[in-house]
Amino acid sequence: MTDLTDLTLAEARDGLTKGDFTSLEITEAYIKAIGTARPLNAFISETPEKAVEMAKASDARRRKGETGALEGVPLGIKDLFCTEGVLTTAASHILDGFHPPYESTVTRNLWDAGAVMLGKLNLDEFAMGSSNENSYYGPAVNPWAPEGDNRRYVPGGSSGGSAAAVSSHIVVAATGTDTGGSIRQPAAFTGIVGVKPTYGRCSRFGIVAFASSLDQAGPMARTVRDAAIMLKSMAGFDPKDSTSVDAAVPDFEAALDQDVRGLKIGIPAEYRVDGMPEEIGQLWARGEEMLRDAGAEIVPISLPHTKYALPTYYIVAPAEASSNLARYDGMRYGLRVPGEDLLDTYERTRAEGFGNEVQRRVMIGTYVLSAGYYDAYYRKAQQVRTLILRDFEQAFGKVDAILTPTTPTPSFAEGEKTGDPISMYLNDVFTVPASMAGLPGASVPVGLSKDGMPLGLQILSPAFDEMTLFRVAGALEQRAGYDARPSKWWVK
């Protein structure tokens, strides 16, 4: 029998349907794999007992003929999703011991579809970061490293644990969340597929909030098909989230039956940035070539406000974070550090409970929203955001989708960028503009860098047109034929 952890989600689903193996068997295979992969620090909480219990319940449902779209498939969940009764940390000290009394809508949807939870995956604290080095529980580690290089490489962030877990085959697929690139950037760094759907497609209810106008859940998986299957189950209207959009959820997997002949693919001039390594430009040109070979028409386009998206993001996101994170006051849940009076208790709790990056962003956000600065910073940023959206609207008048690199560089070694916040922020320079406009985006692994590290290309489509997104992603995946796997150095 083949190793069950080699199967894609689609293969696992089909094997379970045919009765080749049970949910308990595949779940136990993954629990064993997780046990060998602790050096990756991908999990904050492993929940093997719960997984076994859920797998047995799934097998029982199947015997009765009741099967969901993800029946019996074991998944990992980013520890930013509230899971009822299971420790939920957002990778922050301030949520010590928090066991939510409710379930996030996205995870509820996954369990309703029959999926099994293997545990809660590592991330940057409150999803703030691009390397997973900001976790209170320590960094998650990229399964990939250049050959002969003994340093540990970052899996990207904030969904770094999800990316590491999918890439190392210790979960079938995982949930991620993306505020400025937190699904797409780690997917690119670890050689997997990551999809951020349109803002409003997935409910944000029960996801620990970072920047509410940007946060969106999405799938991280080993193939485009797997991501399409998983997104179908995650998405859907939710009256509990006032920004959830009441739109029909199409069968994303069906998009893969269509090729890209006749589609117009835009190549934005402004994504060719100074200092970008040559290999990223070459990868991009190869992607263009692949889509042209597949029958698409390549069209040069311009998105003139691209360079302003990242600074706009670093006003808008911290502003929303400073407001969202005001709820962590040590009174109702999590850490409380006693002080001399109420105010002192708040201040001590938040100083000890929040890591450096979170404190930095909360303070930036407080500053740009404070009296006298609101118009100069926050209002200005919201105006530039309108211009970024208009750029995309104009471009999508001419093209069906847009192709760009996902990241300006491959993964880097731990500690390499920690001292310089702005150079760290630049990781998301290609993913942030679409986030500002609420558009869907996908990262697809296309090749390896000269050092043998994974590289991805990003596809963007108009709002609520994920069908085109998956169509182009599928064509790119097929042409790229990417099948590289990391050496299993973590298995002793």
Partner 1 sequence: MSLDRETVRRVAKLARIRVDEDRLDDLGRELNQIIDWVEQLGEVDTTDVPPMTSVEKHKLRWRADEVTDGGYPEKVTGNAPASDMNFFAVPKVVE
Whole-angstrom distance, CA of residue 189 vs CA of residue 167? 10
- The SS3 assignment for 471 reads helix
Residue the block writes with tokens 């995870």 = 107
Q: Which is nearer to partner 1, 25 or 241 (CB)?
A: 241
Nearer to partner 1, 56 or 348 (CB): 348
CB 457 within 8 A of CB 444: yes
Footprint of partner 1 on 87-116 (CB under 8 A): 97-101
Q: How far apart are the first and last CA of the chain?
A: 23
- Cβ neighbours for 364, distance < 8 A, ≥ 6 positions apart: 314, 315, 318, 322
Residue 81 as a binder of partner 1 (CB under 8 A): the answer is: no
Q: Which residue, 1 or 343, is less far from partner 1 as judged by CB?
A: 343
CA–CA dist 233, 253 (Å, integer): 11
Measured distance CA(166)–CA(216) in Å, rounded: 19
Contact 126, 105 (CB under 8 A): no
Element holding 381 (H helix, E strand) = helix 380-395
Position among 8, 25, 36, 245 found at the interface with partner 1 (CB under 8 A)? 245
User: Is 119 near partner 1 (CB under 8 A)?
Assistant: no
In which order are the strands placed within the sheet that holds 216-221?
43-46, 116-121, 74-78, 174-178, 216-221, 193-196, 441-448, 454-460, 401-405, 264-268, 297-301
Indicate which single residue of 60, 254, 269, 342 sits in contact with partner 1 (rule: CB under 8 A): 342
Residue 422 makes contact with partner 1 by CB under 8 A? yes
To partner 1, the closest distance from the beta carbon of 281 in angstroms equals 24
DSSP E strand stretches across 250-368? 264-268, 297-301
- State how far the Cα of 220 lies from the Cα of 248, in Å rounded to an integer: 22
Catalytic residue among 23, 182, 233, 443: 182
| 196 catalytic residue (yes or no) | no
For the window 205-234, what string marks contact with partner 1 as x by the rule CB under 8 A? --------x---------------------
Which of 158, 162, 233, 322 is an active site residue? 158
Asked about 120 being catalytic, the answer comes back as no
Q: Which residues ranging from 182 to 201 are in contact with partner 1 (CB under 8 A)?
A: 199-200
Q: With binding defined as CB under 8 A, does residue 376 bind partner 1?
A: yes
Q: Is 437 in the site for partner 1 (CB under 8 A)?
A: yes
Catalytic residue of the set 45, 78, 167, 203 = 78
Taking the least distance from each CB to partner 1, the nearer of 222 and 336 is 336
Residue 273 engages partner 1 in binding (rule: CB under 8 A): no
Just list the catalytic residues.
Answer: 78, 158, 182
Residues forming contacts to partner 1 in the complex (CB under 8 A) are 97-101, 199-200, 213, 239, 242-243, 245, 305, 308, 311-312, 314-315, 322, 326, 329-336, 338-339, 341-348, 350-351, 354, 359-360, 362-364, 366-367, 370, 376-377, 379-387, 389, 421-422, 437-438, 463
